[in-house]
Amino acid sequence: MKETRYIFAIKEAMEEEMDRDENVFLIGEDVGLAGGSFGASKGLYEKFGPERVVDTPISELGFTSLAAGAASCGLRPIVEIMFMDFVTCAMDSIVNQIAKMRYMFGNQYTVPVVVRMPEGGGLNAGPQHSQCLEAWFAHVPGLKVVMAATPHDVKGLLKASIRDDNPVIFIENKTLHAMKGMAADAEDDVVLPLGKADVKLQGSDVTIVTASRMVHESLKAAKILEQEGISAEVVDLMTIQPWDRQTVFESVAKTHRLVVAHEAVKQFGFGAEIAAAAAEEIMDELDAPIMRVGAPFAPASYSLEKYYVPSADNVVSAVKSTLERTL
């Protein structure tokens, strides 16, 4: 293990997988000579050359479609969408082609495409560069959706995503890019399983289910609550499609209260799916209403972004609300 930044852990995962498998290549806008808009591919063009680190025109639909064809022919493309907001231009390729190709052709070939995209607010990038749209993709059969919170997790999950024979939407929160933390060395080759959650903090009074940046806000909230004698368990989903029902439900069976927190707008976010599943499948384990934390149902505001993006205080309020109520 070594200390590194989240963005460098992404680069290391891609580099190690490109070293391991010559079929892996990276494609997107400014991924080559510029080293990526956030520096995730710095140095890869010089090491692997223009055939494996491919700079493209500004055409998300075009190069994502190219990746779909390449994957069906045996290659393993990593597609970088510069901002998640721009994935709207490639929705036909991802939703109608990549997600369905393996199913429509009777599993005659695999579709190992990883689509990386930074999301989220907090950097005053405005309403067209700050959205969290993971729920769109989690709703589409055929896609896996990954959201990593730490350098260790982003590296291990990205390596797993690249090796997966199915398409993976790999979402990185921009505010985490500069975060420092421990990550595995290349020789350790740590690959984390997709679809498995991680209990980041043990607790007994309430379960907080979350992912990505909100893992850290939830851990901050847990420290605040601890000072008031409230013990919160924080479950990091890591993969929101498929999500780890067993770990979540086991935690709720222990605490009997549930809060789901994500940065995306609260309405129709992945928290709604988890809340509905808990209500349908383990209602007897719940002692209070389920609470959700999310952004307001409005475009991200440039000038009011610090109030728009959910924080630890919002999680604390939700926890107290569920503790004050009973079914």
Residues acting as catalytic residues: 129
CB 294 within 8 A of CB 308: no
Neighbours of 66 (CB within 10 A): 17
Burial class from Cβ neighbours inside 10 Å (0-12, 13-18, 19+) for residue 296 reads middle
3-state SS class at 178: coil
User: Which token pair is 27?
Assistant: 């494609």
Nearest to 142 by CA among 97, 79, 100, 92: 100
User: Whole-angstrom Cα distance, residue 262 to residue 84?
Assistant: 16
User: Which residue type is seen at 217?
Assistant: E
Place of tokens 């498998």: 21
User: Which token pair is 281?
Assistant: 């499948």
CB 81 within 8 A of CB 60: yes
User: Which residue type is seen at 131?
Assistant: Q
β-pairing, 232-236 vs 258-265, is: unpaired
Nearest to 265 by CA among 90, 119, 131: 131
Helices (H), 239-269: 245-255
β-pairing, 180-183 vs 198-201, is: unpaired
User: Whole-angstrom Cα distance, residue 60 to residue 319?
Assistant: 40
